[in-house]
Chain A
Amino acid sequence: MKKMLILGAGTAGTMMSAKMRRALPADEWQITIVDQDDRHIYQPGLLFIPFDVYRARDVVKPRSRYIPPGVRFIVSPIDVIEPDDSRVRLGDGTLLHYDLLVIATGSRIVPEETEGMTDTGWQTSTFDFYTPEGAVALRNALDDFDGGRLVLNVVEMPIKCPIAPLEFVFLADWFLTVNGTRDRTEIIYATPLDGAFTKPRASEILGHMLEEKNIGLEPLFSTGSVDGEKQVIRSWDDREIGYDLLVTIPTHMGSETIENSDMGDELGFIPTHPNTLQSKGWENVFVLGDATDLPSSKAGSVAHFQGEVLENNLLRIIDGRELTEEFDGHANCFIETGFGKAALIDFNYDVEPLPGRFPVPGIGPLRLLQESEMNHWGKMAFRWIYWNMLLKGAEIPGIQSRMSMDGKWS
């Protein structure tokens, strides 16, 4: 029996286990997947918890429910990967040997990386919304918020879903307007980037949306420290922004396991071939999802597009054939903009987000880089698609893994 081992049963790992169980004969390949707990979080839903659109229970389901029959699921912390010996050591010392390894251990926030962030004020005036605990605490704080200055700061790149912080301030504008406190609230968006987003066209259009919604933009602000006593954040070049409520997107890092195994870069992300998804260090180790060091977005949609390429390449390496270099960095993200509307962006390594129609060129029904109610319903439908199609490794109709230029206005 040959052994395929998948580390991490989040978006990418769960999806991959379903794809590979279908693709590989059960009498030749044993597939095992490991995660530290049995709580699968629909992370895109975390954005809506602070605004009472979703409750915590709406975004959590047992992982085991989504791991297909014929795949062995082990709930245990992963201690260390020993790629030179093709084996993995679990928290209790158990050794798992593999022929092929897929690493999908994701990324996590590390607020401790920023001086002062977890001292005074953490979870009382400073909050994250990238964890269920943070999102719920922030919900309660927003409930009590009676105006003042609300600051969102992105500490450093890369982060998961680089659009989520913008969505947060758009939704905060809507939420506070509906609750009657917007006219007493100043909202500021502080980012280490030189504009609202990473690429020029999207940055310009999203920058306009910030202006229209009267949200202040503080570009090139790299947070060096948080002073919870004085309620200010300080940049490395000594600029200060005071806040009454701070919503922070802390530094992101790969899993501690990657660091323990000495397999990652300075942030614990694994050097990965940008088009094949093979690890740069080991032929029988592949990486997907947030765990890679690739410049593609850390997003569930990206994991979905990578999944198709990875399935193909795992089958190829098993057959001794050459790998395909099909992955083009494709990402496709809804941007919730408040008041029941959303925008949509579609882009890859080389082509920045452009306006147009999606997925049917000229028709849509979704609009790229423009707000519409249809886009909002697309975003809300994503939760159903996530649990019922994406995690099961199914194809999503009309959406291909390689980006298409059809229907885009360049």
Chain B
Amino acid sequence: MTTTMIAGHEIEINDDGFMLNPDQWNPEIANELAVEAGIAPLTDRHWEVIDFCRRDNAEKGTPPGVRRITKNTDVSMKEMYTLFPKGPGILAARVSGLTKPKGCI
């Protein structure tokens, strides 16, 4: 674990650059993480996904996978790949200040 400064806040992150404590997250940090990931500026559509990820993580204790996101928002799979390119589930979790979604082992 290391700490880093994001948007003027000291944030705990793991080796892959995912935030360790979702409570340290705020929208400013999301904007900066989006710049880092090359997807800034965040649009309303991004926020719809981020809001769902935050809510779902708080409820279930794990970040949602991409299928779960598309099932529970009106964002389609296709759009997910435009909003959060390459690995949309992973990138959405990252910008939402959540851990990497547990893949399969």
A interface, CB within 8 angstroms of B: 156-158, 162, 193-194, 198-199, 220, 222, 224, 235-237, 265-267, 295-298, 329, 331, 347-349, 352
Contact = CB atoms under 8 A, between A and B. Distances in A.
Contact of B105 (A199, A220, A236, A265): A199
Q: Which of A162, A194, A236, A347 has the most CB of B within 10 A?
A: A236
A198 B87 CA distance: 14
Nearest to A222: B81
B104 A237 contact: no
B104 A224 contact: no
A193 B102 CA distance: 13
Contacts of A298: 104
B80 to A, nearest CB: 7
Contact of B86 (A156, A162, A237): A237
Given A224-B81, A266-B65, A266-B71, 16 more contacts: A156-B67, A194-B87, A199-B105, A222-B81, A224-B77, A224-B78, A236-B81, A265-B68, A266-B67, A295-B104, A296-B104, A296-B105, A297-B105, A329-B105, A348-B105, A352-B105
Nearest to B85: A237
A295 B77 contact: no
Contacts of B85: 237
A236 B87 CA distance: 10
Given A220-B86, A220-B87, A265-B68, A295 B81 contact: no
Contacts of B82: 237
A348 B105 CA distance: 7
Interface in B64-101: 65, 67-68, 71, 77-78, 80-82, 85-87
B68 A198 contact: no
Contacts of B104: 157-158, 162, 198, 295-298
10 contacts: A157-B103, A162-B104, A222-B81, A236-B77, A236-B81, A237-B81, A237-B86, A297-B105, A329-B105, A349-B105
A331 B86 contact: no
Nearest to A157: B104
Contacts of B102: 295
Contacts of B86: 220, 237
Nearest to B102: A295
Contacts of A331: 105
A243 to B, nearest CB: 21
Contacts of B71: 266
A331 B104 CA distance: 12
B81 A198 contact: no
A44 B86 CA distance: 32
A266 B87 contact: no
Contacts of A236: 77-78, 80-81
A190 to B, nearest CB: 14
B105 to A, nearest CB: 6
A340 to B, nearest CB: 28
B78 A266 contact: no
B78 to A, nearest CB: 6
Given A224-B78, A236-B80, A198 B67 contact: no
A234 to B, nearest CB: 11
B89 to A, nearest CB: 10
Nearest to B82: A237
Nearest to B69: A266
Contacts of B68: 265-266
A235 B86 CA distance: 10
A100 to B, nearest CB: 26
A329 B67 CA distance: 23
A265 B71 CA distance: 10
A15 B5 CA distance: 53
A295 B103 contact: yes
A267 B67 contact: yes
A199 B87 CA distance: 16
A198 B105 contact: yes
Q: Which of B81, B86, B103, B105 has the most CB of A within 10 A?
A: B105
The 8 A-B pairs of least Cβ separation, nearest first, read A236-B81, A158-B104, A237-B81, A266-B71, A295-B102, A266-B68, A266-B67, A295-B104
A219 to B, nearest CB: 10
A156 B78 CA distance: 14
Contacts of B105: 198-199, 295-297, 329, 331, 347-349, 352
Contacts of A348: 105
A199 B102 CA distance: 12
A198 B102 CA distance: 11
A193 B104 CA distance: 10
A95 to B, nearest CB: 31
Contacts of A237: 81-82, 85-86
Nearest to A199: B105
